């Protein structure tokens, strides 16, 4: 008998092993002559060399599946067993093939499938594939931020970049930061909540915690970007309409080698003090002739929130606000 140990690094065990380790039990049932034991983040395989080789190949496929989609289901296990010629509990040696995922950006948590849902969101995805710097401008609810986060997460999962940095200016929407309780982080976190919500949909909690603890994913106010050069990173600037021209220039000059950036903003929701020009508006005028920079405009047709949101936006546009 030969023994092999597979260590599951940066893996949500419940999402990989299944409830009560049922995924591994399914693999073990397909190889009754071998012994497969799951303890913590280790899987121990005991058996003959040929069987261990086959089991290892299946486990490698399941690990790659998890890294891509964020979870492994009972059906996934049967698929990989079937593709390896193993008789599955469905009674056939060939399980269904995996679905075509050409237009899927991220397979997220809780079975969420994230893809571009409108024509302009698809244009945003295409622009990000072809350009290192993209401006995505449109009203609330058009999926600018959510789509941008999904594009960045996909790039990280595909190892196109080494980290994601997401930032936004901490500008009050008619409120005052000074009156909020807590330290600076606690004051600013509510402004970053939409980013956390998007990431929660796309990355399992344990893996997201690991990414943040190891600074693979950073979420910070724009002021923290000063003086940094960001290499091999996907950088997102959200709520860019609330940057000053100086802040926008500072952000744009942070890009280092092998970096990509998406800037999102809404011209109709500028919360800067009166007479303060928006860095987003100014940068669009200044940079519009530079090759390699893409500008994607989203509108009411891209609203994916409640149906009333689209009508509200249209009403305000008609009122000139």
Question: What is the pLDDT at residue 225?
Answer: 85
Question: What is the pLDDT at residue 305?
Answer: 65
Report the side by side order of strands in the sheet with 233-237.
217-221, 163-168, 233-237, 260-265, 133-137, 293-297
Averaged pLDDT, groups of 10, the chain, 321 residues long? 84 84 89 89 89 88 80 85 68 48 76 84 94 93 92 91 90 49 62 85 86 90 83 94 92 91 91 85 92 91 72 76 59
Question: What is the pLDDT at residue 246?
Answer: 92
User: Could you identify the residue written with the tokens 């071998």?
Assistant: 34
User: Could you identify the residue written with the tokens 């995996």?
Assistant: 98
Question: What is the pLDDT at residue 92?
Answer: 47
- The 3 state secondary structure assigned to the chain is CEEEEEECCCCCHHHHHCHHHHHHHHHHHHCCCCEEEEECCEEEEEECHHHHHHHHHHHHHHHHHHHHHCCCCHHHHHHHHHHCCCCCCCCCCCCCCCCCCCCEEEECHHHCEEECCCHHHHHHHHHHHHCCEEEEECCCCCCHHHHHHHHHHHHHHCCCCCEEEEEECCCCCCCCHHHCCCCHHHHHHHHHHHHHHHHHHHCCHHHHHHHHHCCCEEEEEHHHHCCCCECCEEEEECCHHHCCHHHHHHHHCCECCCCEEEEEECCCCCCCCCCCCCHHHHHHHHHCCCCCEEEEECCHHHCCCCHHHHHHHHHHHHCCC
Question: What is the pLDDT at residue 89?
Answer: 53
Question: What is the pLDDT at residue 95?
Answer: 44
Question: What is the pLDDT at residue 65?
Answer: 82
Question: What is the pLDDT at residue 281?
Answer: 93
Question: What is the pLDDT at residue 306?
Answer: 66
Q: What distances in angstroms separate CA 23 from CA 127, 171, 291, one per listed residue?
A: 39, 47, 50
Q: Give the chain's domains with CATH numbers.
A: 2-84 (3.30.1370.10), 102-319 (3.40.50.300)
């Amino acid at each position: 008998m030969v023994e092999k140990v597979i260590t599951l690094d940066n893996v949500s065990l419940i999402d990989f092993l299944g409830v009560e380790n049922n995924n591994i039990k399914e693999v073990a049932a397909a190889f009754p002559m071998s012994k497969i034991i799951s303890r913590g983040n280790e899987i121990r395989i005991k058996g003959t060399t040929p069987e261990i080789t086959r089991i290892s190949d299946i486990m490698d496929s399941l690990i790659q599946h998890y890294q891509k989609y964020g979870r492994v289901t009972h059906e996934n296990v049967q698929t990989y067993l079937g593709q390896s010629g193993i008789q599955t509990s469905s009674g056939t040696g060939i399980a269904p093939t995996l679905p075509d995922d050409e237009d899927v950006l991220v397979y997220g948590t809780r079975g969420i499938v994230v893809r571009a849902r409108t024509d302009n969101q698809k244009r945003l995805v295409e622009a990000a594939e072809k350009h290192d710097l993209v401006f995505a401008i449109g009203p609330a609810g058009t999926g600018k931020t959510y789509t941008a986060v999904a594009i960045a997460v996909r790039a990280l999962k595909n190892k196109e970049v080494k980290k994601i940095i997401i930032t936004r200016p901490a500008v009050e929407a008619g409120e005052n930061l000074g009156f909020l309780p807590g330290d600076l982080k606690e004051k600013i976190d509510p402004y970053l909540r939409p980013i956390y919500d998007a990431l929660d949909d796309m990355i399992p909690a344990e893996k997201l915690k690991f990414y943040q603890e190891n600074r693979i994913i950073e979420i910070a106010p724009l002021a923290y970007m000063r003086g940094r050069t960001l290499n091999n990173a996907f950088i997102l600037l959200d709520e860019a309409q609330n940057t000053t021209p100086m802040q926008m220039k500072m952000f744009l000059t942070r890009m280092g080698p092998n970096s990509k950036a998406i800037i999102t903003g809404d011209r109709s929701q500028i919360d800067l003090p009166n007479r303060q020009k928006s860095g987003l508006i100014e940068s669009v005028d200044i940079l519009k002739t530079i090759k390699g920079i893409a500008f994607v405009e989203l509108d009411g047709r891209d609203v994916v929130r409640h149906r009333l949101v689209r009508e509200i936006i249209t009403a305000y546009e008609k009122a000139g606000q």
